[in-house]
Structure 1
Amino acid sequence: MKRREFMKAAGLGVAASGVAMPAIAQSTTTINWRLQSSYPTSLDTIYGACRVLSQAVAEATDNKFKIQVFAAGEIIPPLSIVDGVQNGTVEMGHTGSYFYIGKDPSFAFGTGIPFGPNTRQQQAWFYHGGGNDLLNEFYATYKLYHLPLGGTGTQMGGWFRKEIKSKADLAGLKMRIGGLAGNVLQRLGLVPTQLAAGDIYTSLERGTLDAAEFVGPFDDEKLGLAKIAPYYYYPGFWEGAASLSLFVNLDKWNELPPGYKSVLNTAAGYAAADMLAKYDAQNPVALRRLVANGAQLRAFPQDLLQESYKAATALYAEIGASNPTFKKILDHQMAFRNQVYPWTQISDFSYDSLMLLAMRQN
């Protein structure tokens, strides 16, 4: 579905010659905002969501609401998006919310936590389970308004220089890893660090890292990580659903005319759906190329997965004991996850299992 068709179907009245929606057509308000991504232009799917958003908003407002998009580091450092949006350096930022757990661990929920919901479940929690409303209660304390803007699907577990045969092999391993996953795996002996995308390859090449996770085959291939660390592990249990966040300065959001808020909401939803569809189309092809070129695909050992689950449960209990906001969001999300997983088992899981078996037999 094309952007104009989507916006029209969404009730914004976009026609080939412009915008028919009265609230927009009759408005004389002209707005120019700046949006910076945490990601470089080379990662065209994840960065590209910002361009999709910008174009959709411009089309729906007859170019009265313009959003200029900037890549990582063009205005502010790539992992300082929250600070830049808070202080008004830019009106909007696109980033992984979990990069900011140093401010408060509750930032993790905007992206995902180890052993959290899968992608569809997280989207359901955001939009129909009250999740985004709950997150915005928290983000408001940082002068931010949050709109989900994209997701990658379940991510890979990353690239390793050496084979991981048991949890013991994590001891002393230096790994680039985002969010609370580093805190979890630290309990198994791993030494975590958080780096922007542009710094990962160099750190692996120099030997300051032994392993790195980023997104999945399509983006990882672009970063060239297989050239240095050939063992490619799955699943990324810390990112069963890896969502991206559009942060808007709260004062700027509150100043927006209602029609522009509606347009921005709808455009963000379209850009999010477009990003996930692109990854679902591109990752399978990229994975085949990586394996054909020598990448060694491996599943994480079961003892590592089991111990990681225990470590995550213990970590959440400890954080929640001293952070009421974290506990409130965690309890809410886990209740939703536990409620929907039985249906996932009956529906998607059983169908996918059936299809995989049928395809292997033919």
Structure 2
Amino acid sequence: MYQKGRAWIELDIDNLAYNIRQFRKILSPKCAIMPAVKANAYGHGAVLIAKALQDLEIKDFCVASVNEAVELRKAGILGQILILGYTSPNQFSDLVKYNLTQTVVDYPYAKLLNDFGQVIFVHIGIDTGMHRLGERSENIKEVYKMWEFDNLKITGVYSHLCMSDGASDAERDITLKQIEEFNMVINFLHRKGIHHFKTHIQGSYGVLNYPALKFDYARLGIALYGVLSSPKDRIISNTKLKPVLSLKARIACVKQLHKGEALGYGLTYKAGKEMQIATVSVGYADGIPRELSNKGFVLINGQKAAIVGRVCMDQLMVDVTDIKGVSCGDETIFIGKSGNSEIMAADLADSINTISNEILSQLGSRLGRVSIKK
């Protein structure tokens, strides 16, 4: 398959390596990076990214589901793969077959895993305030009792910060309280003579805003890919990152739109003058948000071209009236650089009141994904 035929994603592996180096500079030397490659590596392509990270001497990964983990194993990814979410009992056999590590979401789930009857590697989730998954930190005796289960090989204990991206005093107080609760659980287990397990609590913003924490793993997600969730996010560590992903598509045709004519579904855009319109071969089935209808823009030859009309399932239209020499087959940039101009994923997300995590993770499977090394 020609991967740059219609619409595609380019992955700058040099930028990925650069970001890894930046994080290694600010993390404790004893803290290993555990990249989050869930949701198809935030839309980048889980297998491509995991293989590139493995070449960069990354040995631990985390995903959301057992199916994501199995895909990586079948692609030759080695080392620990931690499943952060729930796995149904009818898939417990895959945990054993593919040597995966499962999150214990609470005490009853620990019993369910143990009753499967085969040894399963697990990390215990601790709920320190997010109230999503994990045994509540105050239920410390239930956490301790999990070590009584013969079939659980407990290799880690972790939690999840819910406001580490916040810059206000109140948000920092909540984050520090979560860290305190987590350390309370860890210290209790140590006092009980339990020492041989790894710890982790930091995601991307936990590292960027609290880099001095000394846990065993850092679960880098969106920031690993050189992206912030929002352009408004303030990063205390001032770490400079480089985007890994560019999203591009071909122009299918260029045509005249006469003054007074309308275009697209619902004819929602009407020409106020003679115009040149380019139809671009990408749409909402590829992950281009429909909310960009009549308000977004792309880059062509370093210039902005406004999206006109509704974004369709497989294509959309842009105004190229003021851009010289546009023709069939030309590249358009949705995320990335063109000349001296750039569209950042966070800026695109901000324009429709969401976050870059959502934009990237919804990029479609029919987009070709191509690794680029300079």
Shorter-chain TM-score: which interval?
under 0.3
Structure scoring higher RCO (CA < 8 A, sep ≥ 6) equals 1
Structure exhibiting the larger radius of gyration computed from Cα positions: 2
Query: Which of the two has greater strand per residue?
Result: 2
